[in-house]
């Protein structure tokens, strides 16, 4: 036997014992997005590398060193998507969704790929849920997107575990002005910058503010604030967002260091953070990206959205004790002998036809009655149905409630569905 093949680093299986947590999150996401009139979009995992170079930006960590890119057999440069916003915008342009001032509210769920250093909350394949809106300028839609995310936290039992930080990068012009002021400041403090930040200063200076190095806290903390460089219009926009959040009862904090890693943001940016996950504390992040459609070759269209990290959120749900219990089967059929197995499988089909809501397991694997009862017990099923020679010849089924101290009872087959109705409603 050769050595067993294992999954690759930073890429994980979701095992049957845990999948109910994913379903819980997905169900809440589907219900909440529907409640705000958002519709799902599914874009491919594989895209042209150019899409991400043009949208995320050549000098971001993602495009510089984190993408899984390869040359296809015909010479095309392809990449596994590192995020989903660029693909959504690409799809919207491609399918004419942005013409004639259309408005769209969409959401997605899917795996993303980044070649990062794996650690808790940071993986190479990770899942995101995201919401995006096209065609609506102004702060109110930003507030709506934030409200939608806040509703998710409520429904997931996490409202007390996360808090909202907001900032504004202003218009492109504001951002450019601020960039020169920041570069000047950082150049004056160049000896305090770590190697990474010295490099970013040359390529993408705003990202220096995004540093996760505690040794840089002071120099970053004293940097000039972007908010002091907003024009009147940008200030009004940001005030509009804050007024909406206040009116809708969403507490927030302004964090002037919040710039977001990707190149395409302007005006409002925000993050939902938690102090319960250690270094990987951002569970959801987003902002406005009005320039992105133009970067991708279409007419300028307002765009705004956010993405949340599913694994981080599920870790938070588990850590805070808000995880729902795994579902267990309702009925386990204990079957003595081959004839009983066949009769039991037919009975299980009858039950499934009449009661598609019940989970019914037949013991197809033989073994003594004692072992089969052990399996039934371990499966967490509520009810065991027993068929042996006696039940076959009498046209009955024996029934035992596995979670209660009651006697086994014998039920005529014709009455079984009524008895199950009495138990399961």
Residues that bind ligand ATP (CB under 6 A): 83, 114, 116, 121-123, 126, 128, 261, 280, 282-285, 307-309, 311-312
Cα dihedral value 73, 74, 79, 85, nearest 10: -150
Strand order from edge to edge, sheet including 69-71: 46-48, 77-80, 69-71
Nearer to ligand ATP, 209 or 334 (CB): 209
Residue 370 neighbours by CB under 8 Å, 6+ apart: none
Nearer to ligand ATP, 120 or 246 (CB): 120
Residue 144 neighbours by CB under 8 Å, 6+ apart: 36, 133
In the bound state, the residue with its beta carbon closest to ligand ATP is: 309
Q: How far is the CB of 164 from ligand ATP (least distance, A)?
A: 13
Nearer to ligand ATP, 310 or 348 (CB): 310
CA 216 to chain centre: 30
Cα atoms found within 13 Å of the Cα of residue 282, Cβ hemisphere only: 17
Q: How far is CA 206 from CA 17, 181, 209, 297, 322, in A?
A: 43, 11, 6, 25, 37
Nearer to ligand ATP, 268 or 363 (CB): 268
State which H helix or E strand residue 270 sits in.
strand 266-273
Question: How many whole angstroms separate alpha carbon 257 and alpha carbon 79?
Answer: 31
Q: How far is the CB of 86 from ligand ATP (least distance, A)?
A: 11
Nearer to ligand ATP, 106 or 376 (CB): 106
Residue 391 neighbours by CB under 8 Å, 6+ apart: 340, 397, 398, 410
Nearer to ligand ATP, 123 or 238 (CB): 123
């Amino acid at each position: 036997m050769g050595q067993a093949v294992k999954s690759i680093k930073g890429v994980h299986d979701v095992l049957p014992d845990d999948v109910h947590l994913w379903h819980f999150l997905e169900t809440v996401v589907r219900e909440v997005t529907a409640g705000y009139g958002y519709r799902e979009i599914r874009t491919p995992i594989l895209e042209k590398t150019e899409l991400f170079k043009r949208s995320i930006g050549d000098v971001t960590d993602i495009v510089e060193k984190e993408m899984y890119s390869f040359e296809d057999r015909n010479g095309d440069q392809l990449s596994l998507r590192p995020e989903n916003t660029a693909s959504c915008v690409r799809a919207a342009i491609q399918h004419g969704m942005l013409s004639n001032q259309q408005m769209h509210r969409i959401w997605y769920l899917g795996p993303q790929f980044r070649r990062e250093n794996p650690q808790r909350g940071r993986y190479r394949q990770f899942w995101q849920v995201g919401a995006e809106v096209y065609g609506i300028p102004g702060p109110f839609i930003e507030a709506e997107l934030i409200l939608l995310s806040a509703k998710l936290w409520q429904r997931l039992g996490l409202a007390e575990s996360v808090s909202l930080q907001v900032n504004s990068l202003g218009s492109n012009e504001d951002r450019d002005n601020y960039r020169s002021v920041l570069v000047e400041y950082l150049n004056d403090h160049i000896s305090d910058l770590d190697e990474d930040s010295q490099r970013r200063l040359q390529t993408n200076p705003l990202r220096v503010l995004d540093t996760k190095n505690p040794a840089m806290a002071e120099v970053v903390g004293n940097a000039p604030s972007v908010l002091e460089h907003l024009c009147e219009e940008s200030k009004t926009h940001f005030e509009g967002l804050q007024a909406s959040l206040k009116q809708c009862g969403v507490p927030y904090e302004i964090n002037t260091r919040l710039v977001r890693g990707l190149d395409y943001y302007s005006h409002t940016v925000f993050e939902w953070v938690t102090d319960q996950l250690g270094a990987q504390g951002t569970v959801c992040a987003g902002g406005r990206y009005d320039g992105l459609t133009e970067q991708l070759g279409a007419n300028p269209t307002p765009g705004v959205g956010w993405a949340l990290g599913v694994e981080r959120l599920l870790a938070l749900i588990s850590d805070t004790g808000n995880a729902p219990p795994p579902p267990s089967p309702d009925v386990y059929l204990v079957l003595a002998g081959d004839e009983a197995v066949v009769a039991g499988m037919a009975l299980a089909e009858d039950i499934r036809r009449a009661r598609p809501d019940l989970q019914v397991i037949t013991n197809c694997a033989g073994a003594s009655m004692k072992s089969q009862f052990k399996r039934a017990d371990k499966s967490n099923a509520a009810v065991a149905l027993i068929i042996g020679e006696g039940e076959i010849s009498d046209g009955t089924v024996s029934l035992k409630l596995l979670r209660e101290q009651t006697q086994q009872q014998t039920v005529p087959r014709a009455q079984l569905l009524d008895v199950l109705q009495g138990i399961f409603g």
